[in-house]
Structure 1
Amino acid sequence: MTEQDVREVLNGRRAQAARNDGAILDAARTVFLAEPDAPIGAVARAAGVGISALYRRYPSKEALLATLCLDGLRQFVTIAESAREVPDPWEAFVEFLRGIVDADVHSLTVHLAGRFTPTPEHRDLAVRAGALAAEILHRAQQAGVVRNDVEITDLPMIYEQLAAIRLGDATRLRELRRRYLDVHLAGLRTAATSYGAMTGSAPTRAEAGARWNRTT
């Protein structure tokens, strides 16, 4: 076998591994959002790969869950960084919220929080995600387009409420979530303060973060 043949074989194996990895992560998201307690073997079956191929990439269910949540955090950061570049503060805020809701990254929070031990990489990405979200919110508030009594910890509660909507196919689901996001956006605008102050207080960071403490 020539050196070129070896390179082609290695490249083929890498491509197959990448395809398997993508299939595993897609299957894991589907399986664990439907049933967080599902065994890891259910992911292998849904992905159409052998259990040994799955374990070569992810030695445990916890490792697979951790990777899913890392992907969600990375996606959140990408969406926020894009929205931050929108010149108009209100449009930036809307694009940010719509991007997060459309990406459905908070379904992972609702279903998987507390099922694995976060790593320093999770924490670093979470800090980055929080800083970007706060920047977008505060810019909109300073521009007078978002009510001042909205706290940064209110936003994840909105994402999670909308993530609970699971009706119809993907197109209908997106439509419904956007419909009810519009209701939230109307309540977040400065004009909505004419109806009075919000009831109660926003979640504290400790309350929101406690969900990620390992419970299993």
Structure 2
Amino acid sequence: MSGRKAQAARNDELILQAARAVFTADPGAPIAAVAEKAGVGISALYRRYPSKEALLQKLCGDGLKLYIEVTERALAEEGDPWEAFAGYLRGIVDADTNSLTIKLAGTFQPTEELGRDAMRAGALATEIHRRTVEAGVLRPDLTTADIALLLEQIASIRVGDERRISELRHRYLTLMMDALRLPPARRELPGPAATDEELSSRWWTGS
């Protein structure tokens, strides 16, 4: 890319990263807060995204595409069906697409493309669920809606910095998967449990 195009691509990435951080913290935040966090001028942001609605649509569209990519990759696995399903769950947790669902659902008007991608994501989730149940390694009374809500619960964990958040999310994901698997498993949980100090620190602003 030319220097100008490369700079535009960098600005776009900065804007999207900032928008995700700003709007998952506060869906009601103004678009100016995104420009400030991204370190770009408001005019540069508006040239790329003419409204907050357009920016939210882009964020959720990218999240859906990432969800589809993770699920398709898991479905392409030809080995152990449980390991493919576990890889799918870990991939979704790492992608953190559920944070967007928790914070942004109902805050903007979905586009036709978002609708199509949502249908594709739903069909893939149903397929990996069906395959894993039929392999006899996943509780048959578990539904895709159950899994979606369990993943949202894990995405709500926000204790400490990004590394600690990821560590805790995978700890509780492992605990959750052991409860869903047939026969039930009991593996060593990754990372230490949250401490009382970590939990209580969420109530202090530092001021």
User: Is the TM-score greater than 0.5?
Assistant: yes
Task: Write the deviation string for residues 48-77 of structure 1: whole angstroms up to 9, x where unpaired.
Answer: 100000001111101101100001001001
TM-score normalised according to structure 2 size:
0.86
Work out the CA distance in 2 between the residues paired with 1:53 and 1:22: 12
> Could you say which residue in structure 2 is the equivalent of 1:140?
132
Work out the CA distance in 1 between the residues paired with 2:177 and 2:112: 33
TM-score normalised according to structure 1 size:
0.82
1:88 counterpart = 2:86:
no
Work out the CA distance in 1 between the residues paired with 2:122 and 2:85: 14
Q: Which amino acid aligns with 2:43?
A: S
Task: Write the deviation string for residues 124-165 of structure 1: whole angstroms up to 9, x where unpaired.
Answer: 111111111111111111110001111111111011000110
1:166 counterpart = 2:130:
no
Work out the CA distance in 2 between the residues paired with 1:103 and 1:18: 21
> Could you say which residue in structure 1 is the equivalent of 2:44?
53
Superposed counterparts of 1:64-79, under 5 Å: 64-79=55-70
Moved over 3 A (4+): none
Show structure 2 runs of 5+ residues with no match: 185-207
Offset, 1:113: 0.6
1:103 counterpart = 2:95:
yes
Q: Which amino acid aligns with 1:73?
A: L
> Could you say which residue in structure 1 is the equivalent of 2:17?
26
Work out the CA distance in 1 between the residues paired with 2:11 and 2:175: 40
> Could you say which residue in structure 2 is the equivalent of 1:150?
142
1:125 equivalent among 117, 132, 146? 117
1:182 equivalent among 174, 181, 186? 174
Work out the CA distance in 2 between the residues paired with 1:188 and 1:102: 19
RMSD: 1.1
Question: More deviation in 81-90 or 21-30?
Answer: 81-90
Show structure 1 runs of 5+ residues with no match: 1-9, 193-216
Offset, 1:191: 3.1
Offset, 1:183: 1.5
Work out the CA distance in 2 between the residues paired with 1:167 and 1:157: 20
Task: Write the deviation string for residues 68-99 of structure 1: whole angstroms up to 9, x where unpaired.
Answer: 00010010011111111222110011000010
Work out the CA distance in 2 between the residues paired with 1:147 and 1:155: 11
| Matched residue SS, 1:115 | coil
Work out the CA distance in 2 between the residues paired with 1:191 and 1:82: 25
Work out the CA distance in 2 between the residues paired with 1:41 and 1:170: 24
1:41 equivalent among 29, 32, 37? 32
| Matched residue SS, 1:52 | helix
Number of residues paired by the alignment?
Answer: 183
Specify the structure having the higher radius of gyration (Cα).
1
The share of aligned pairs that are identical, in percent, is 58
User: Is contact 1:89–1:136 with CA below 8 Å preserved after alignment?
Assistant: no
Work out the CA distance in 1 between the residues paired with 2:94 and 2:10: 24
